[in-house]
Structure 1
Amino acid sequence: MADPATVEFGADDVLVLEDDRFGPESVCLVTGAASGIGRATAAAMATNGLTVVGTDVDGDGLASMKALVEDEMDAPGEVVTVEADLTDDDEMRALVEEAATHGDVRYLANIAGMQHISPLEEFPMDVYDTMHEVMVRAPFLLSKLVMPHVRETDDGVGAIGNMCSIHGHVATQDKAAYITSKFALRGLTKSIAAEGEGALRAFTVSTSYVSTPLVEGQIPDTAEERGISEEEVVEDVMLGGSRVKDMMRPIQVANLFAFGFSKHGQHLDGADMTWDGGHLGTYE
């Protein structure tokens, strides 16, 4: 498998959509924007002409993302970076307030995530708590903070997209905290849709394995836990159930967020965009 750090993309890889709200006056807030799917989503939304506020704890990664979007991709949208800790409520409030100074906050992409491989009986609770804060509590609070801004726009139209996973639909071993968080995220998404009155929508994106640093990092741990080689982890554990035998690229996932946020996703509300290469829908 290619090193995710070298799997880059350009403007030609981005799904560009015609939408009157996709302009510099509209702000899209993206978490986890320093790497992987968050980095790609920030780039995709900026390429669609929006003002993007990207956040992460990794300041160097954010700077790299901004340079990619502005210098290499020459995206028409502005990129603003805000280093913030998603486990700190005050920093999240300040993040949303900062985003609101750059235009109408219409879109929120909750993408930041983390993983830990361990059997449930041995799972460290401090790690569980951090994963819950980053992948459930932070999206909950950020949604709570962003929703009033969407409602205050001239037409009240906007959307919150949450990065889920096939692990928000089915479970596998040694990932109990991650799976618990992703199932919870689907519940949050449906709750936002129930209260959004159709104009303020919410959706999840569920993919199988994507070539990101998060996925790359769990391969050695999975191999150790299961007593198999790293090659077997990729071929049998990660891609074994999929009909498509290639991992998705981050920019392909980012394009799903762009579509979901656009007017073309008008009837995508409370639902999930399952893009898994046939993993969930087929079996041998």
Structure 2
Amino acid sequence: MGISKDLIFLLLLLIFFSKDVSSATFTFLNKCDFTVWPGILGNSGLDTTGFQLQKGHSRSLEAPPGWSGRFWGRTGCNFDGSGKGSCSTGDCGSGQIECNGSGATPPATLAEFTLGSGSPDYYDVSLVDGFNLPMIIETSGNGGCENTGCGANINTQCPTELQSENGDACRSACEAFGTPEYCCSGAFSSPATCSPSAYSQMFKAACPKSYSYAYDDASSTFTCTDTDYIITFCPFSQRTTSHDTRKGGFGGGSWLVDLAIGESSLVQPCFLLQTTLFLVTITSIMSLGRHFNYRF
């Protein structure tokens, strides 16, 4: 008995769509000089909701099509042998390494994803809940997609009124003051009525590709298809600790951070180089002039 045309058609459709609908791999990389404990809140489908990631280590998780959720880094954690404990920043309140359905306690830098199922993925890095750790998202496998994130250490420029108790994180204005105009709530619950504040503009200036307030969609949400993702904590070489707020912070300078995620040109370093060469040239001319008894 032959195979019906309808069955053949259904099989062809299945093959066609199976090429477009595939899982995505999230790889977490810790370039901090300290241990980070990534936290996870989202749909079921990942094999963990929180884990330890030592300095220089990485771990990969596979997510099914349609998965949606967020990742963040917890710092200053203290867990006992049974996995019970808490963290200084980004704590999920579960009392365990596994977050078990609980989200990050603000302030926390968030990486947010909605994976497509035959449609594009959406992703962003959000500072709407504040900042605790530099973090970027890179795509892997599709060269046409944009990287995003916040590589600058905002803790070094955090206004006093937004600083967390230990100075190891920077709160959002909403968390700090709780008023509708900062939280985009009540009479300010629409894009037309909730505008960026001076505080959210400070976050945006430091990390132009990241969400800085609730309606910051236009310059902060990105899409991609057929790719995997690398989430890197403290993406640029640095020698700070999780509580170090020295000027310069992560990345050794904001121009390097901006350059590495495509947000700046080499204006500052080129200017410094040109200035140095100019001074060296003038010094050499004056030295030669004195040698030949010329007056300047």
TM-score bracket, shorter-length normalisation: under 0.3
Normalising by structure 2, what TM-score?
0.26
**Greater strand fraction, Structure 1 or Structure 2:** 2
Normalising by structure 1, what TM-score?
0.27
**Greater helix fraction, Structure 1 or Structure 2:** 1
